[in-house]
């Protein structure tokens, strides 16, 4: 049987406030106290993996070892059919901008524009099918781990719409929907997102009796 995290403190291996809020909301009903790696002052390990699973495990293991607590990491990204699955595991890298006044950062509008520019260069009839992938990895300080994978399919729209969400949410419309992830209420997104799909599998394995 898979090892269970139970209730108590869980380190969320992220420095992204939006991701922490979303994960915390999903775990709140199970009595988990979520604290971020950022709030603990833990460094972000280099994501050298070539798959979402590898990168999620790198982050979860680093946070578990540094904190002495169970840690959960999310590695997620956007894949575009017409771009042969890119940006994929390099989703965040496409948002990296040049250092400004010595500070690195991410420009998601730039990243969305890069994807759109590549699609437009391929012609008006290019398919705009895309999907978000999410891998959740739980790691314990002693090295044990568990992995859960989720996915949501949809299409890309331009220009970006909505003020909610983060990352590529303003250009992604889930299959069967008319609004982008950045337009719908957070609760509605939590019910259908790639992260929700992965969390449903985590909950079934970790909390269901």
Residue pair 150/195 in contact (Cβ under 8 Å)? The answer is: yes
Our answer to whether residue 75 is catalytic in this structure is: yes
List Cβ neighbours of 204 (8 Å cut-off, separation of 6 or more): none
List Cβ neighbours of 107 (8 Å cut-off, separation of 6 or more): 95, 97
Residue pair 195/22 in contact (Cβ under 8 Å)? The answer is: yes
- Dump pLDDT digits (tens) for 146-164: 999 999 999 999 999 999 8
Q: What are phi and psi of 118, to 5 degrees?
A: -65, -40
Residue 92 confidence (pLDDT) above 90: no
Residue pair 195/134 in contact (Cβ under 8 Å)? The answer is: yes
Residue pair 63/13 in contact (Cβ under 8 Å)? The answer is: yes
Place of tokens 């209420």: 185
75, 125, 153, 169: the active-site residue: 75
Residue pair 182/169 in contact (Cβ under 8 Å)? The answer is: yes
Q: What is the pLDDT of residue 208?
A: 81
With a pLDDT cut of 90, the percent of the chain lying above it is 68
Residue 100 confidence (pLDDT) above 50: no
Binning pLDDT at 50, 70 and 90, where does residue 81 land? very high
Residue 138 confidence (pLDDT) above 60: yes
Residue 171 confidence (pLDDT) above 90: yes
pTM: 0.85
Q: What is the mean pLDDT of the chain?
A: 90
Binning pLDDT at 50, 70 and 90, where does residue 183 land? very high
Q: Nearest Cα to 132, choosing from 74, 172, 94, 191? A: 172
CATH code for the structural domain at 8-206 = 3.90.950.10
Binning pLDDT at 50, 70 and 90, where does residue 131 land? very high
Residue pair 62/45 in contact (Cβ under 8 Å)? The answer is: yes
């Amino acid at each position: 049987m898979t090892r269970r995290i139970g209730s108590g403190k869980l380190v969320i291996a992220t420095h992204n406030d939006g991701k922490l809020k979303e994960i915390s909301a999903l775990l709140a009903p199970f009595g988990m106290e979520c604290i971020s790696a950022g709030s603990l002052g833990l460094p972000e390990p280099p994501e050298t993996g070539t798959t979402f699973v590898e990168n999620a495990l790198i982050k979860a293991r680093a946070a578990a070892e540094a904190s002495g607590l169970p840690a959960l990491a999310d590695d997620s990204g956007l894949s575009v059919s017409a771009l042969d699955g890119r940006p994929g595991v390099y989703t965040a890298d496409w948002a990296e901008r040049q250092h400004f006044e010595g500070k690195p950062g991410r420009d998601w509008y730039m990243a969305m524009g890069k994807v759109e520019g590549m699609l437009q260069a391929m012609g008006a009839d290019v398919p705009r099918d895309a999907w978000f992938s999410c891998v959740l990895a739980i790691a314990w300080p002693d090295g044990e781990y568990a992995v859960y994978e989720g996915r949501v399919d949809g299409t890309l729209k331009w220009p970006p719409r909505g003020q909610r969400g983060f990352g590529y949410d303003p250009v992604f419309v889930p299959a069967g929907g008319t609004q982008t992830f950045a337009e719908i209420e957070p609760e509605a997104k939590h019910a259908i997102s790639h992260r929700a799909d992965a969390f449903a599998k985590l909950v079934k394995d970790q909390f269901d009796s």
